[in-house]
Amino acid sequence: MTLTSQLVEPQRPRETSRPRTKLKPAVLGATGYAGQELIRLLSRHPGVAAPALLNRPGDDVQEDFAISSREMDWREMAENGVGLLFLATPHAVSRKLVPEALTRGLRVIDLSGAWRLKQPAHRAVYEFKDDDPAVAEECTTRAIYGLPELHRDAIAGADLVANPGCYATSVILALAPLLKAGYVDLARGIISDSKSGVTGAGKALTERTQFVSVADNLSAYSLFTHRHVGEIAEQLAIESPDLTFTPHLLPVPRGILSTIYLRLHRRSTIDAMEKCFRDFYAREPWVRIYAAGGLPEIRFSLQTNYCDIGFRLAEDGLRLIVISCLDNLLKGAAGQAVQNMNLMYGWDEKEGLL
């Protein structure tokens, strides 16, 4: 039996500005940094009832986050009117739980990387071992990549939204306008030096994320092997070798700054570059384009759902550097998840995020 034949069609929002009753969500993964941010945002959202916390901040959670579909109390969630499930869980956990959630008529926003990638070659980096590969493939097909600036209409009707990665969001939003306009000389390659605060590495303590390793330090990691490379390549419709992506760990709690180097096919001007960005994001409430010469900094986007983008063009009109900044726990995780929820239920995209 295929997943499609088992699915219960989730209830779609009525064509009104606000539902008659508040949406009841559930959150699994409330112990993590992104999960805690998500709870904070949902608790103040005017269209949302208090979320059901399937594990709470401070709860002891085993290192491998061992939970199976059978251990989830699906019946209790149904009895409490839960319609939307947020998963702020490790990738393998989301991979196990999502098929069952969909068969029970729940809509899902998954903050892990379990369902972001369509191409098997890119997905191989996760080494998923699916109980039912056919069902997993069907979920992969129906999952919508949750970057509203690229997929707003599809997100609105989705029952499974794969929330983007934080690094990936910063790089994709910086490059999408230029690639669509045909400016980028891919034969010369794109280089992205991306730097993240320590919360981007997750809550589990490792030698790399201990204070003595992070403080007064800056380090690179996962050279040529980072999982976000395939994600960026798929969304920008480029080949993985076209992008050299190097992540770095900053000695700060949160925030991402991506410095992206590229060459243009033809000489351009500052005005043309600024117009390219402003036209592409003219109706986007959560992307801020800096005036020519202005450059974003991590501190300006912290505690917000904004992605800030600025650039400099060399005097030769061919070399372009783009700077992209965001808060990895908000626009890079929980804030973007709430933005996606707003789209799925027909609410203002800024609801609960200002």
The string of DSSP codes covering 332-343 is: TTHHHHHHHHHH
Q: What whole-number distance in Å separates Cα of residue 35 and Cα of residue 349? A: 20
Residues 6 or more apart whose CB falls under 8 angstroms from that of 74 comprise: 100, 101, 104
CA 32 to chain centre: 15
Q: Which of 53, 136, 52 is nearest to 102 (CA)?
A: 136
Residues 108 and 143: their CA atoms lie apart, in Å, by 10
Cβ neighbours of 122 (radius 10 Å): 18
What three-state secondary structure class fits 160? strand
Angle (CA) 87-345-146 rounded to 5° is 50
Helices 33-43 and 334-344 cross at an angle (nearest 10°) of 40
- 280 vs 178: CA distance, rounded Å: 9
Q: Which of the residues 139, 166, 307, 325 is marked catalytic?
A: 166
Check if 166 is active-site.
Answer: yes
Active-site residue set: 166
